[in-house]
Structure 1
Amino acid sequence: MIAAVVFASLAVGATAAEPTGTEIMQAVYDRPQGKDMSGVLTMTLVDAKGKERVRSIKQISGSFTGMDKKLMVFQSPADVRGTSFMNWSYAGQGKGDDQWIYLPALKRVKRISSEGRGDNFMGSDFTYDDLGDRQPMEDTHTLTSTETVDGEACWVVESVPKDPKDLYSRTITWISKGKTVGLKRDYYDKRGTLLKTLRISSIESVSGIWVIKKTEMRNEQKKTSTRMEFSEVKIDSGLVDGDFTERAMTKGL
């Protein structure tokens, strides 16, 4: 989940009994984000030999009439400059995300099919599906335990997809009780083997909203990883629905 791949946050009041797994994941999904958010993502791709490639991305997101929209535009290096990705999600409507990618060399916007959601995004360890806005109703959630991560008490929630064709067989998420922000997540492949791990190393409050600043996705089977650092964050800067269109994808940010 980044600003995109980012986990959402929403404070949950203390109660005598622990909330259910579904209640926890719904709280994470329903977090306050402000009307819109913008910033710069620095993406670092690390191969199995430790060689790094760095990419810079401008990202904007916003909520408009029951829809959450996100646009990412690559700024550098030159071979990916102008490439853009857009995601529309339909909160609480039981409808899957719509996704598009624009490749300057082809000079056209392409819709990403459901079959393509498992492909890696621009050579990273994130799939297109990972960059979407997964709704709690898509999984069966179980609170399995409580543990401490980096000094923070966490709920541990196992989520099993209801759709047997889903990319993963299950995920396990550690969610801070104090911030209700996911601190890490394990992804298991269809054989039930650990495939990837997502770790959050920096979270900051911006205008009263928890924003994840540093994220790492590691492919435990290929031994590759992708780091994301979110900077120059602005909340409620006046973005409008018209900023999230196919035309906007081709114009850049």
Structure 2
Amino acid sequence: MNIRKKSFFTLCLALSSIMIVGLSSGAEELSGLQLMKMVDERDDGEDQTSKATFELINKRNQKRIRETVRVWKDYEGQEGYDAKMITFFESPPDVKGTGFMSWSYEDQNKDDDQWLYLPALRKVRLIASSDKGKSFMGSDFTYDDMGDRKVEQDTHTLLKTENLNNRECYVVESVPIEKRYIYSKKVTWVDKKNLIPVKVEYFDRKKRHLKTLETEWQQVNNIWTWKRSVMSNHLTRHQTIIEIKEVELNKNVSDSIFNKRTLEKGIH
């Protein structure tokens, strides 16, 4: 899931419009599309490095732990790119050296390009569009979840406002325009104060409540970033917990990192 950064001026205008809607009873209500664009445009830095612990828990409460390192960069439309991301698994031994890379594009009609490197095969594999609904490395996240879905690919409806864990939230329903998409809809709880999504419910093509993502956030250099996320699959009773640590922002990450050679060799 990556959020694009726009200009500070644009963000100020967006926040001002929220204040006007909240203060003026006669003002036109904020639409779901407007709100999700504001969430998408929230500042998330120019680049980011971090480490993460993936804890995979099955229905018998058996656990597997995986350690990763991640590098992400915002391209803001340069050369047609939105953002690029690369992740490496550092442990345990059976997945060590596995690499995953994703490139997202400004063009809303262009899908993310994603690659997976498996050390045992010594080969970089392009993730096919038909495989993006599959589990990412045994987790409850799909390859699609690991990409950057564009706001314009869904129809957004602001359903209501609701208090969630002492946060006043907007509740937005997002229905894909593409009917063959892996989810029939998503429902997102967005913190009204900070414009951060704190909960997302995913519904499968049969309109069953498939998964729930709950996210805790932290501020690093006055920028909101993930701290902990829990994805629960209600059909399989499997759960993935991701703990984010050692987050660093705006370190002038080199473009040369994001290529197939790095996937094969790792970051040194």
Bin for the TM-score computed over the shorter chain: over 0.9
* Partner-residue secondary structure (3-state), 1:26: helix
How many residues in Structure 1 have an aligned counterpart in Structure 2?
A: 249
Task: Compare the two structures and name the one with the higher strand fraction.
Answer: 1
On the 8 A contact 1:12/1:180 being kept in 2, the answer is no
Segments of structure 2 that go 5 or more residues without pairing to the other structure are 22-26
> Could you tell me which residue of structure 2 aligns to residue 77 of structure 1?
92
Deviation at 1:7, TM superposition (A): 11
Deviation at 1:224, TM superposition (A): 0.5
Structure number with greater Rg is: 2
* 1:148 partner amino acid: N
* 2:197 partner amino acid: G
On the 8 A contact 2:200/2:212 being kept in 1, the answer is yes
**Aligned match for 1:52, one of 63, 70, 73:** 63
Segments of structure 1 that go 5 or more residues without pairing to the other structure are none
* 2:220 partner amino acid: V
Structure 2: distance between partners of 1:208 and 1:148: 24
**Aligned match for 1:206, one of 213, 217, 220:** 220
> Could you tell me which residue of structure 1 aligns to residue 24 of structure 2?
none
TM-score by length of 2: 0.89
**With CA pairs under 8 Å and 6+ residues apart, which has the higher RCO, 1 or 2?**
1
> Could you tell me which residue of structure 2 aligns to residue 220 of structure 1?
234
Q: Which aligned pairs between 1:113-152 and structure 2 lie closer than 5 A?
A: 113-152=128-167
Q: Which aligned pairs between 1:50-199 and structure 2 lie closer than 5 A?
A: 50-64=61-75, 65=78, 66-199=81-214
On the 8 A contact 1:8/1:28 being kept in 2, the answer is no
On the 8 A contact 1:117/1:127 being kept in 2, the answer is yes
Give the stretch that moved more between structures: 129-138 or 28-37: 28-37
Deviation at 1:8, TM superposition (A): 9.0
Q: What is the aligned-residue RMSD (CA, Å)?
A: 1.7
* 2:244 partner amino acid: F
Structure 2: distance between partners of 1:49 and 1:116: 27
TM-score by length of 1: 0.94
**Aligned match for 2:38, one of 23, 27, 38:** 27
**Structure 2 residue 20 is matched with structure 1 residue 15:** yes
Structure 2: distance between partners of 1:12 and 1:121: 35
On the 8 A contact 1:7/1:182 being kept in 2, the answer is no
Deviations 1:170-222, CA, capped at 9 Å, x for gaps: 0000000011000100000111110000011x211101110110000000011
